[in-house]
Amino acid sequence: MRLRLTPVCRLRSSLRSSLRPTLGPSRRLPGAANAAPALRVRQPETLCDIGKNKVAIVAVCLQNRRRYIPLFPAQPRVVPTIGQWRSMRDDAKEVPRSVIRKLKRPDKMARWPAYVVNEDRYGVWLFSPKGTIFRGQSGETIGECEVGQGSLPEGVPVIHLMPRSLWWVASWCREHDIQISVDISTPPVFEETEWIYTDLELDPLGWADGRVTVDDEDEFVAACVADLISAEEAKVARSTTEEVVKSMREGTEPFGRLGWERLDEALSFSLPPIKTLHHVPAWQYRPRQ
């Protein structure tokens, strides 16, 4: 078999011919004044149209001596901006979802889904609407309820903050006496579609009446004695608890107004509850922390 090579000039000509049915507004690339006229390429309206203009992009690159500029918007970030959220709030299918996985040594685990609703200098904000499924597992025993349910007959809307490189995870809700709950934990990490952290027992709590307390001191001591929490982790957990309690009492952000603003903002999206959650047995997961 003999291969037949097509000259570049003939390739350009054939590409122009194939593109004529999709001509649209002219897009001229920057270049010399005597450069060849730019091809008229239809601007894709959605990311699904990118494939239709793939040939067009090649043609423009050839015609303009391999100079290239994007002919379509960049793909959206994993966490959209507030402007993007406001444009997508009417279509819940467009809102990215994640799963929060809380590990508790030696063999306990809780998982619940959430929408990714914002990102700022404090971290990533995840929102679980009222009625979202919550699944807990202890050994072989599995139980389900709704996120934020506690002693209430049904769940409540909760917003969670996954900070960057800090040893805690925080949650806000208005329906309980405890309105701000902080898990002192290993720094949350994002793996595939899940935010994962290991609970280190200490829990700073912000009450509706303004009090700030620390819960589960006895469980923390017991876990340290049983070597479920290392000496280094215990030291960091103690210092982090003091810092978080101080921030909560002084109203330092994100424990001031920001958490409540993020909750109100998420509620304004009117997102439906997430009722399904694929099951992952605890024994199949080995944390990398």
pLDDT tens, 17-67? 444 443 344 344 344 444 444 334 333 333 333 343 433 333 333 343 333
Helix (H, G, I), strand (E, B) or coil at 172: strand
What's the rounded Cα separation, in Å, for the pair 12 and 170? 58
How confident is the model over 104-112, as a mean pLDDT? 94
Q: What is the pLDDT of residue 90?
A: 52
Tokens of 279: 């099951």
All domains of the chain, ordered by start, with CATH? Answer: 8-63 (no CATH), 82-284 (2.40.380.10)
Give the model's pLDDT for residue 88: 53
Mean pLDDT of 90-95: 62
Tokens of 130: 């009222």
Burial class (CB in 10 A: 0-12, 13-18, 19+), 243: middle
Q: What is the pTM of this model?
A: 0.69
* CA-based torsion, 52, 58, 61, 63: positive or negative: negative
How much is the average pLDDT of 102-130? Answer: 95
Question: What is the pLDDT, as a whole number, of residue 34?
Answer: 42
Tell me what pLDDT residue 251 has: 96
Q: What is the pLDDT of residue 94?
A: 75
- What average pLDDT does the segment 166-194 reach? 95
Per-residue pLDDT of 183-203, as tens digits, reads 999 999 999 889 999 999 999
pLDDT in tens, 212-247: 999 999 999 999 999 999 999 999 999 999 999 999
Report which of residues 84 and 26 the model is more confident about. Answer: 84
Mean pLDDT score, 169-188: 96
Q: Rounded mean pLDDT of 100-111?
A: 94
User: How many CA atoms are closer than 13 Å to the CA of 58, on its beta-carbon side?
Assistant: 14
**DSSP conformation class of 26:** B
| Rounded Cα distance, 226 and 220, in Å | 10
Q: Report whether pLDDT(206) > 90.
A: yes
pLDDT of 242-285, one tens digit each? Answer: 999 999 999 999 999 999 999 999 999 999 999 999 877 655 55
